[in-house]
Amino acid sequence: MGGGKQANLSMTTPNAAVLNGEGSFALVEVEQDAVPINCAPIVSSYNDKIRPLLDAVDKLRNLMIMDEGIQLPTIVVVGDQSSGKSSVLESLAGISLPRGQGICTRVPLIMRLQHHSSPLPELSLEYNGRTDRTDEDNVTDDIVKATNSIAGGGKGISNTPLTLLVKKKGVPDLTMVDLPGITRVPIHGQPENIYDQIKDMIMEYIKPEESIILNVLSASVDFATCESIRMSQSVDKTGERTLAVVTKVDKAPEGLLEKVTGDDVNIGLGYVCVRNRIGDETYEEARAIAHELFQSHHLLSKIDKSIVGIPVLAQKLVQIQANSIARNLPEIVKKINDKLNYCLSELNKMPKNLSSVAEAMTAFMQIIGLAKESLRKILLRGEFEEYSEDRHMHCTARLVEMLNQYSDALHNCVQSDPKNNFLLEEIKALEEVKGIALPNFLPRNAFLTILQGKVSGISSIPIGFVEQVWTYIEEVVISVLMRHSDNYYQLQLCARRAGHNLMAKMKERSIKWMTEIVDMEKLTDYTCDPEYVAEWNRLMAHQNAFIEGVLGDNERPSTITIEGIGEVEVEGLRRYPLMLPQAFDLKMRMAAYWKVVMRRFVDFMALHLQLSISNLVNKEMEAEIVNELMGPYGGGIERMLEESPAVAVKRTNLNKSIRKLRDSKEVVAKIIDSIVTHGH
């Protein structure tokens, strides 16, 4: 893409885009009569076939299609602070831009330059959804005001763009994004991390492959050490999309020829050397002075005329831009279509937006039906295909584990250890219930006293288990309800409240039931289980041997082992020789009966759980959710018509993206139709 013809002779127009037979774009050169430099515009205007291309890209940019991840061909202007970046842009646009200490450009400034035939320029600023007209005398102040509106009145920067539209006779048809100048040292009023903020902004704009980097360099610096060069090289190592503009050539002409011909920093699109406008020079005067400088200066005149001057820069930019747009437009069309199809697919996957009570009722019944079936599978039937990887939701297995732990807790507690305080508790009970009566009858009161004490001692274990198991079931039920009502925010709220309320009722009911079981066991002693008598007989078979061991005249051991009981302490029992037979009998009755009591606590709990869970799933859950939904805080089935904030935001964003992409598709379709029509 080397330069055009010598600036003092004539200009040819840039290439025009046409659609070739393969469905992609090609460029053809459009001839135009030569025009003397002193009366020509800065660059010949776009041919009618090319102007619409840039208009289309600008429309896509206004539609903010880049928010959809679709990059547009963009000329991005970067440069170190004080590199002369503003002067270059002023010369291209023919207007003044803000200048001063520190960062002048604090927001991305999208400069849309359009040649038009009217001698009266038209300038406007677009930002924050508004469009303000301005003029050449006030544009500098208006840019400052708009910048302050976007980025605040301080010296910080913002990523929100400001668009400057310049319709002026003779300007090149270009769209460029001017970014803040790179500065390493913050001045007063700037944030400490100003360099990082600017770097991040620049990298965001120059990273896409579609971006053309216009790197503005001062002739007085070593190009290799320029921060802007380092940034552009980090994303464009070969330099194939980087064009360099060397400014202030009149201030540092020595060695410039070697710099731009040696190209030590990989500027693939080449260099253009320019002289900055100084003081009150008009743009025409500045161009004439620059033209004379490059013709007559003993060093600068040696630089090839195809790479010097603002007109050459303008033509290069126009040609590069036309090529970039033509090259990228087919891919942009494809990306727009792909993203549109994706958004439509995502929208179709979303739950139907309920529009009537009948639809809401249908959806409600489906959700409840699915939730009930899921709970039947995992809580009653032990089918876990819906939650194959989530062991927590394998409920029948987890409930059995909890039931086994509950049984172990009952059997391992101190009340279930027959060796503990062997016979001492029985002797004490017998002493307390004795009365004026025949001595060889076993008092039933003594048995009940001991039984009540033991049952009271273990009563916290079944109550604790009830609370534990219903807490687990609550987690499962809420999880299933939330999963099936995920797309219906108001139903989720009702289902969650209903789930918590129902679990609280079920837990309270189970605790009440278990408390009654405990009270029944404390009230009286009864079983028809023949195993009780059989076990008592087995244990009583050891009575005589035990008493002989305790009271006999031979060895008097401190412990004795009883089959079915274990090793027991007997030293303290020798003080109660007369009570030992009754105490032993009482102990063995209690040991045999306690096994029955323990089995009842476990068996009853298991049966109660099965029944409670079955009622929960098949009857009570649905009724509770309906009551909650129809109750004073539920708002009725109509509330289901309201989407959750997250779903509503997603639906709104998808619809916004679809509208934007459809508008974008229409923009590119028109331009392609135009190209095809002109091509024929």
Q: Which pLDDT belongs to residue 679?
A: 53
Q: Is residue 314 located within the same domain as residue 398?
A: no
Q: Does residue 9 lie within any of the structural domains?
A: no
Instruction: Give the C-alpha distances (Å, rounded to integers) separating 628 from 475, 480, 623.
Output: 19, 17, 9
Mean pLDDT in the chain? 84
Q: Check if the beta carbon of residue 76 is closer than 8 Å to that of residue 211.
A: yes
Q: Is residue 616 located within the same domain as residue 538?
A: yes
The two structure tokens encoding residue 567: 């090793």
Any residues with CB less than 8 A from the CB of 548 and at least 6 apart, and which?
A: none
Judged against a pLDDT cut of 80, whether residue 556 lies above it is answered with yes
Q: Which pLDDT belongs to residue 467?
A: 96
Secondary structure element (H or E) that encloses residue 325, with its range: helix 310-349
Report the share of the chain in percent with pLDDT over 70.
88
Q: Residue 654: which of 241, 296, 351, 309 has the closest Cα? A: 351
Q: Does residue 16 lie within any of the structural domains?
A: no
Alpha-carbon dihedral of residues 513, 514, 518, 523, nearest 10 degrees?
10
- C-alpha to C-alpha distance for 217 and 220, rounded to whole angstroms: 9
Question: Ranked by mean pLDDT, which of 8-22, 103-117, 559-573 comes out on top?
Answer: 559-573
Q: Is residue 235 located within the same domain as residue 368?
A: no
Instruction: Give the C-alpha distances (Å, rounded to integers) separating 159 from 71, 435, 477.
Output: 16, 97, 47
DSSP string for residues in 424-446: HHHHHHHHHH--SS-TTS--HHH
Task: For strands 130-134 and 162-167, give the pairing.
Answer: unpaired
Q: Check if the beta carbon of residue 58 is closer than 8 Å to that of residue 177.
A: no
Q: Check if the beta carbon of residue 218 is closer than 8 Å to that of residue 83.
A: yes
Q: Is residue 369 located within the same domain as residue 288?
A: no
Q: Does residue 257 lie within any of the structural domains?
A: yes
Whichever domain contains 459, its CATH number is 1.20.120.1240
Q: Which pLDDT belongs to residue 677?
A: 56
Whichever domain contains 108, its CATH number is 3.40.50.300
Residue at 290: amino acid letter: A
Judged against a pLDDT cut of 60, whether residue 627 lies above it is answered with yes
> In which band, very low, low, confident or very high, does the pLDDT at 103 lie, cut at 50, 70 and 90?
low
* pLDDT digit string, tens, across residues 334-350: 888 999 999 998 888 88
Helix axes of 444-458 and 580-615: crossing angle, nearest 10 degrees: 40
Report the share of the chain in percent with pLDDT over 90.
34
- Find tokens 């934007």 and name the residue: 660
Q: Angle at the Cα of 487 (from 485 to 490), degrees rounded to 5?
A: 70
Q: Angle at the Cα of 287 (from 283 to 293), degrees rounded to 5?
A: 140
pLDDT, mean of residues 202-208? 89
Q: Using the Cα atoms of residue 530, residue 531, residue 535 and residue 536 in order, give the sign of their dihedral.
A: negative
* pLDDT digit string, tens, across residues 433-475: 887 777 778 889 999 999 999 999 999 999 999 999 999 999 9
pLDDT, mean of residues 537-560? 90
Q: pTM higher than 0.75, yes or no?
A: no
Task: For strands 162-167 and 122-127, give the pairing.
Answer: antiparallel
Judged against a pLDDT cut of 70, whether residue 259 lies above it is answered with yes
Q: Is residue 49 located within the same domain as residue 95?
A: yes
Q: Which pLDDT belongs to residue 470?
A: 97
Q: Does residue 33 lie within any of the structural domains?
A: no
> In which band, very low, low, confident or very high, does the pLDDT at 104 lie, cut at 50, 70 and 90?
low
Q: Which of 240-244, 332-336, 654-658, 669-673 has the lowest mean pLDDT?
A: 669-673
- C-alpha to C-alpha distance for 80 and 84, rounded to whole angstroms: 9
Instruction: Give the C-alpha distances (Å, rounded to integers) separating 264 from 78, 222, 245, 270, 307.
Output: 19, 10, 15, 12, 17
Instruction: Supply φ then ψ for residue 164, to 5 degrees.
Output: -110, 115
Q: Does residue 385 lie within any of the structural domains?
A: yes
Question: Ranked by mean pLDDT, which of 66-80, 109-123, 458-472, 553-567 comes out on top?
Answer: 458-472
Q: Does residue 347 lie within any of the structural domains?
A: no
Q: Is residue 260 located within the same domain as residue 365?
A: no
Q: Does residue 668 lie within any of the structural domains?
A: no
DSSP single-letter state for residue 80? B
Q: Is residue 303 located within the same domain as residue 364?
A: no
Instruction: Give the C-alpha distances (Å, rounded to integers) separating 7 from 32, 44, 286, 423, 481.
Output: 15, 12, 14, 120, 76
> In which band, very low, low, confident or very high, does the pLDDT at 508 lie, cut at 50, 70 and 90?
very high
Q: Check if the beta carbon of residue 336 is closer than 8 Å to that of residue 664.
A: yes
Q: Is residue 507 located within the same domain as residue 366?
A: yes
Domain ranges, residue 224? 43-64+73-338
Judged against a pLDDT cut of 50, whether residue 7 lies above it is answered with no
- Provide the domain count of the chain: 2
Any residues with CB less than 8 A from the CB of 462 and at least 6 apart, and which?
A: 406, 410, 514, 517, 518, 601, 605
Q: Is residue 395 located within the same domain as residue 296?
A: no
Q: Which pLDDT belongs to residue 48?
A: 54
Q: Which pLDDT belongs to residue 584?
A: 96
Q: Which pLDDT belongs to residue 21?
A: 40
Q: Check if the beta carbon of residue 181 is closer than 8 Å to that of residue 85.
A: yes
* pLDDT digit string, tens, across residues 67-93: 788 888 888 999 887 788 888 888 888
- C-alpha to C-alpha distance for 320 and 203, rounded to whole angstroms: 21
The two structure tokens encoding residue 653: 């964003």
> Which of 428 and 256 is assigned the larger pLDDT?
428
Q: Is residue 332 located within the same domain as residue 406?
A: no
Q: Which pLDDT belongs to residue 635?
A: 59
> In which band, very low, low, confident or very high, does the pLDDT at 486 lie, cut at 50, 70 and 90?
confident
Q: Can you list the positions of beta strands (E) in 434-553?
A: none
> In which band, very low, low, confident or very high, does the pLDDT at 379 lie, cut at 50, 70 and 90?
very high
* pLDDT digit string, tens, across residues 15-63: 444 444 444 444 444 333 333 333 344 544 445 556 777 778 888 877 8
pLDDT, mean of residues 282-310? 86
Q: Does residue 253 lie within any of the structural domains?
A: yes
Cα end-to-end span (Å), the chain: 28
DSSP string for residues in 290-323: HHHHHHH-TTGGGS-GGGBSHHHHHHHHHHHHHH
Q: Which pLDDT belongs to residue 277?
A: 82
- C-alpha to C-alpha distance for 599 and 607, rounded to whole angstroms: 12
Q: Is residue 363 located within the same domain as residue 306?
A: no
> In which band, very low, low, confident or very high, does the pLDDT at 603 lie, cut at 50, 70 and 90?
very high
- C-alpha to C-alpha distance for 645 and 262, rounded to whole angstroms: 60
Q: Which pLDDT belongs to residue 360?
A: 78
Q: Which pLDDT belongs to residue 376?
A: 96
Q: Is residue 468 located within the same domain as residue 383?
A: yes
> Which of 38 and 160 is assigned the larger pLDDT?
160
Count of beta carbons in the 10 Å neighbourhood of residue 220:
16
pLDDT, mean of residues 186-201? 80
Number of H helices, E strands in the chain: 19, 13
Judged against a pLDDT cut of 80, whether residue 489 lies above it is answered with no
Q: Which pLDDT belongs to residue 39?
A: 33
